[in-house]
Chains A and B, each alone.
Chain A
Amino acid sequence: MIKKISSVLIVTFFISTGAANPKTFYDLGYKWKTDQGKTVTLKSFKGQKVVATMVYASCQTACPLIIKKLQKVHEVLSKHKVAAQFFIVSFDSKRDSYKKLGHFKMHNDLNEDNWTLAVGSEADTRAYANILGIKYSQNPESGEIMHDNKIILIDEKGKIVKSIEGLDASIEKEDLF
């Protein structure tokens, strides 16, 4: 009896953490709170192209530049009528509340429907960054975050197809999907 209960619990545990068997980007089970206050998983993007990156709201140096680069990507894709979701996750799981991200979104004019900012638990953030191949460190005392600047492109089948590195914003259609 106990064995049955525990195996049920274990299975449930797995479904919830999503450690299960992620075949595509959409199968990853990490839970995010969006700037709208909604709780989502990556399943909500199923069947769509995703432009993914990570920033944090109090970043003064690179993050404004990465947002600019994302806006350029947005511009190029719109021009060529390629539909994609822009999903930006915060590195700073402790200090970036979803409300703060809402302000950040407004402040940077990321107003269209296909922009989503989100924040999750520290463990999910670390694992997600590892899936995307984005390195980051947090100084345990000052709280300051050092991170790669990468934009990851995921196709409509949920496969990671490209990693665009650096802050220089010269983007052409060939660089994207």
Chain B
Amino acid sequence: MQLEKTENSQSINGKYLKGIMSIFLELYATASRGYKIYFRYTAWFIADLITTPIWILVFLLPILMFLPKEQWNNPTTINFFFWAMVMWDIVGAGLWSFGQAIRREQQTGTLEFLFLTNANRIIMFTRSIFTRGLELTIMFAYMVIVFKLLFGVDIILRNILGVIFILTLGLLIAMGFGEIYGALVLRFKNIGPVTNILEFVILGISGIFFPISRLPDQIRLISLLSPFTYIAEMTRYMAMGIETYLDPGFELILMILMAIIFNAIGFVTILYIEKNLKKTGKLGAY
């Protein structure tokens, strides 16, 4: 049995934006909301500025202990670590931006109200990507100063446009990876501790702090499956001219494919989980 359908007001009175304009509107709304919330929690930003050099000290100095002393001022070695710190932020963006963005919506109780709209499910959860982009830029400039002061070496940046392109592509891959992870957060709610473990596993297997050529063969096979391996490899290639494990052209194509595939899988997974939660009635649960 079906009732008589009447034209929805969307089609008749022109008060709505349609098509690509509606996507821009969602992006603008999500970005402005993200920035407003980010800057109103000033402690977050200040904490980031304070903790970055502390991370560098607690993480990098012990590593340097194992290196010959003459390496301590070696620009290549130090730059390797510099880009590793940038990569760390990219990995973090994937896991925290989506996973935790969805978690925060669960905690604030806004999830059901978001799902009452027809807004794009991916864009709704991207707010951290925008602030991450800003954070990354600020951190980048900040780390340049910290590295210069700590180690007295300049940051090598041979192809600035290439680096920007790879980092942007890297953020898109991280976004797709984060969508899949975010879907799991949507389903299983509080998996915060797993995020930390996963972050360090990814950092370990993806050649972030050392080239994957130094990994044992079996682990290297796993690292070749990690999208972050190619982000790290290509960033170092563009910034420092360090050779990639596979052909750089091939790695670039892989990156573009991964950006598409991961985002497509992420989108479908979120829709699937949304449907599943609507069956169980756990959509609004936190």
Are chains A and B native binding partners rather than an unrelated pairing?
no
Taking Cβ atoms with an 8 Å cutoff, the residues of B that contact A are none
